[in-house]
Structure 1
Amino acid sequence: MAVVEELIRTENNETLSFGNYKLAAKSKLDNYEFGGDLYKVKTFKEITKLERNGMFVYESVPGTAVSGLHVTDSGIEFQVEGPEDAQITLELEEQAEYQVTVGGVSAGNMKTNLGGKLSLSVELNEDAPVAVQIEKA
């Protein structure tokens, strides 16, 4: 996997890939249509953020590249890559408990807050994507 030069794209398996942590200046792409929804991505070396229909979906600090983003009613899964460890925040169901797996290893159960946010840290090395799976417990 590598950075997404076009900032966001649809993959052949009907998932989304987005983010370019190698950009020195903020770049964004708005009104990207996928699955009947409109997406907006903002990305550069310091942050990567994805919104769907004006609502928060994903944010990482520092910036990352995400591939194979697949959102379901029961969770979310994707692969993430970046030059250094990242703090990732996701929007899920409010006050729900999720089983979190990072790099094939269980990180245990985590509960979202009142706003539905779930934050996790992911250890990253450039050019080595890490799989993240979050399923409702």
Structure 2
Amino acid sequence: MTVIEGLIRTEGDGSLSFGNYELDAKSKVSDFEHFGDSYKVKTYKEITKLERNDLFVYESVPGTVVLNFSQKGDEVDFTVEGFEDTQIALGLEAEKEYRVYVDGVDVGSARTNLGGKLVFSVELGDEPKQIHVV
């Protein structure tokens, strides 16, 4: 399993990787600069949360490692790793319909709430899962 040294990093393709579900105690990094935005990550075995400019972006319960997180317009792509089934919430546009794909398989559509949160579950275990939301 992968963990992110330093809890958050910029990848060569401009995406973000963050999180560490192996930690027993809460850890965080604030004011991580990435393309003019300020990110904050909080992570440990029970939760991983990412904020951009103090606005909600990502949360998983229990904690996860997220690799190559990219959000462009109405699309979000990332790979997620964890030790058990995980509930993921993404901060997107309010009251809009999105399709969720896990490893290329359409797992259905969901509508964001008034706050723009899209919530879905992913079965995690031995293999990382590729997530695409559009």
The one-letter amino acid paired with 2:27 is: S
The one-letter amino acid paired with 1:131 is: Q
Distance 2:23 2:16 in 1: 19
**Runs of 4 or more above 2 Å deviation:** none
Q: CA deviation at 1:109?
A: 1.5
Give CA deviations for 1:2-44 in whole Å, capped at 9, x if unaligned. 1112100000111000000000100000000001100000000
TM-score (norm 2): 0.97
Name the % identity.
Answer: 57
In the alignment, structure 1 segments of 5+ residues that lack a partner are none
Distance 2:96 2:32 in 1: 29
Distance 1:113 1:55 in 2: 15
Aligned length: 134
Distance 1:96 1:65 in 2: 27
In the alignment, structure 2 segments of 5+ residues that lack a partner are none
| Residues 1:86 and 2:86 are matched in the alignment | yes
2:14 matched residue in structure 1: 14
| Residues 1:134 and 2:133 are matched in the alignment | yes
Asked whether the 8 Å contact 1:75–1:92 carries over to 2, the reply is no
TM-score (norm 1): 0.95
